[in-house]
Structure 1
Amino acid sequence: MNPLFDPRHIRRAFSRSARSYDAAAALQHEVEARLLESLDYLDDPKLALPPPQCILDLGAGPGRASAAMRKRWPKARVVAVDMALPMLREAGKRSGFWRPFDRVCADVRALPFAEGSVDVLFSSLCLQWVEDLPAAFAGFRRVLKPNGLLLVSTFGPDTLFELRESFAQADAAPHVSPFATIAQFGDALVHAGFRNPVLDRDEHETRYADLPALMRELRAIGATNALQSRRHTLTGRARFAAAARAYDTFRHADGRLPATWEVITAMAWAPGPGAPIREGGFDVTSVPIASIPVRRRP
């Protein structure tokens, strides 16, 4: 089966957008800020949880969330992970001398971290680029400590539906990714063995003067068409004009064009030690060696 996304295209797009991302990513910053607020749960005095020692920020981009978590827990090791090296260079500007965080260039689908080494795994608006969610979540669970926290957000299928429908009237090639539903997201979490998942869905709307303004913003944040089945030539003036006319039917009374963003957030916990991890359809049990009783011969 051919892969849905082109990872090299994703890496190139986010590498090119590293310097323009922060200025254009107002919605992404808002979603990230709300996800960071969910970390207040860990500081609830009623739970009496110890502060995290190791935190991963997956798809960290320019490192805003990494810096915020390093400030929140100054004694924790915070690791910003991104597949685009230029993004990590931008993140380095936020990794101060007094409260630095680590930076690792890696793909979230193959995390280069030891099993059971992470207390909190945080990822804001990265997983929409991952087609095999169960496999990704299995990898997340592998690196999380027993009872570690997973806190993630992604885009849902209603995201940019106006753009999808408009280009569908002008071009047979796909232009917008088929995002996973909240049910698929929850199923993938359960399949990977996460417990007590809590999922939320919210809709945001941004507005633009015209279709070119929306497309410029998408390029500035690296959100270009990364589907393997995308058209590999320029869209062309005639097709773009036809899409613009179709998009114009969504125009609001204020004269601006809307773009809908469906945001799915999820909080879940890694299970206790000894619970099996599903890999390739099979349960693989991991048991800490310290929990295995040893019988000594007299």
Structure 2
Amino acid sequence: MLFWRCPVRETDRYRLDKRRVRAAFDRAAGTYDEAAPLQHEVCDRLLERLEWVKLEPARVLDAGAGTGRGTRGLRRRYPRAQRLGLDLSPAMLREARRRDGWWRRTRWVCGDLEDLPFADGAMGLVFSNLALQWCNDLDRTLADVRRVLAPGGLFMFTTFGPDTLRELRTAWQTADPDHVHVNAFVDMHDIGDALVRAGFADPVMDMEMIVLTYPDLARLMADLRAIGATNANRGRGRGLATRARFEALASAYEVFRRPDGALPATYEVVYGHAWAPEAPAPGRPRGRVIPVHPVP
């Protein structure tokens, strides 16, 4: 008997397995902060942008809170607001709660940015640092953010653009062209269009390139594992990485070595913000059930 396997569409190859994403961030909770200077710097720059915004929200949400750096920044900026930190990883939230202090009144919620477990119009500000790239459906995600924002509320976020890890992507295409090894990232202009489709008003987008340098590929890969940025794409290879494959990857990456001897890793950081119009957002379709997982 012959069996025919339907080929995986290119877009499906980059679909993220959320269980693997969650497990990777759970493993990385204890090592994340030490290996995440870029993520911390981008978070601080995003918080600084709130200085130029006239906003006094009653309730703020850090969507994709990780170990809570953004949430703590929001606490300092809006001390009277009720604060919520949401993340897919319970281990990350436990670390965030530990760093925040047990006496703080931050509410930590384990959930998915694509399925926000909050009431319509509940938030005056949704702040999200480098989390949108872990969502499979950008339109659905932005529509849900729009839903939970109160009229006049603000969505302030960062994410990664298509040139992120371009050196690693190119090297993997040489070393193992049959599988996906680096996430797909959405172009800044496409994100702006998606904000409009979701019903946001006055979207503003900009970007910057940040290049980190490493002495060798092993250090880069170790840092990616330490922050939980492992391969969770559907089109990934199923076997363990062999020494020969890693050596082929390292050899392909060498073409990017700089005159000073360092290996670069490029990140395209996209910044954006948009407002919820005064008109209320459409509610969530009936019959859609969103699980809420308390943090143990």
Which one-letter code corresponds to 2:134 in the other structure?
W
Within a 5 Å distance, the mapping from 1:130-149 to structure 2 comes to 130-149=135-154
Q: Matches of 1:274 and 1:8 in 2, distance apart?
A: 33
Q: Deviations over 1:236-269 (max 9, x none)?
A: 1111111101101100111110000001110100
Structure 2 counterpart of 1:251, from 238, 241, 257: 257
Q: Which residue of 2 aligns with 1:6?
A: 17
Q: Deviations over 1:156-202 (max 9, x none)?
A: 00000100000111102111011101111111101001000000111
Q: Which residue of 2 aligns with 1:113?
A: 118
Within a 5 Å distance, the mapping from 1:70-219 to structure 2 comes to 70-96=75-101, 99-171=104-176, 172-219=178-225
Deviation at 1:96, TM superposition (A): 2.8
Which one-letter code corresponds to 1:23 in the other structure?
E
Q: Matches of 1:208 and 1:92 in 2, distance apart?
A: 32
Q: Which residue of 1 aligns with 2:59?
A: 54
Deviation at 1:98, TM superposition (A): 5.2
Task: Say if 1:52 and 1:76, in contact at 8 Å, map to a contact too.
Answer: yes
Q: Which residue of 2 aligns with 1:233?
A: 239
Which one-letter code corresponds to 1:119 in the other structure?
G
RMSD: 1.7
Number of equivalences: 274
Q: Matches of 1:102 and 1:275 in 2, distance apart?
A: 24
Q: Which residue of 2 aligns with 1:16?
A: 27
State the secondary structure of the residue aligned to 1:9. Answer: helix
Task: Say if 2:86 and 2:111, in contact at 8 Å, map to a contact too.
Answer: yes
Deviation at 1:101, TM superposition (A): 1.2
Q: After alignment, is 25-34 or 68-77 more displaced?
A: 68-77
Which one-letter code corresponds to 2:159 in the other structure?
T
Which is greater in Rg? Answer: 1
Q: Deviations over 1:129-179 (max 9, x none)?
A: 112111100000100001100001100000001000001111021110111
State the secondary structure of the residue aligned to 1:222. Answer: coil
Deviation at 1:274, TM superposition (A): 4.4
Task: Say if 2:68 and 2:97, in contact at 8 Å, map to a contact too.
Answer: yes
Task: Say if 1:70 and 1:99, in contact at 8 Å, map to a contact too.
Answer: no
Deviation at 1:94, TM superposition (A): 2.6
Q: Matches of 1:137 and 1:277 in 2, distance apart?
A: 13
Structure 2 counterpart of 1:31, from 31, 34, 42: 42
Deviation at 1:93, TM superposition (A): 1.6
Q: Which residue of 2 aligns with 1:223?
A: 229
Q: Which residue of 1 aligns with 2:72?
A: 67
Change (3 A) 1:278 1:76: closer
State the secondary structure of the residue aligned to 1:165. Answer: helix
Q: Matches of 1:70 and 1:108 in 2, distance apart?
A: 20
Deviation at 1:57, TM superposition (A): 0.2
Identity %: 49
Change (3 A) 1:240 1:67: same
Q: After alignment, is 269-278 or 143-152 more displaced?
A: 269-278
Task: Say if 1:67 and 1:101, in contact at 8 Å, map to a contact too.
Answer: no
Unaligned runs of 5+ residues in structure 2 are 1-8, 286-296
**Structure 1 outlier segments of 4+, above 6 Å:** none
Q: Which residue of 1 aligns with 2:290?
A: none
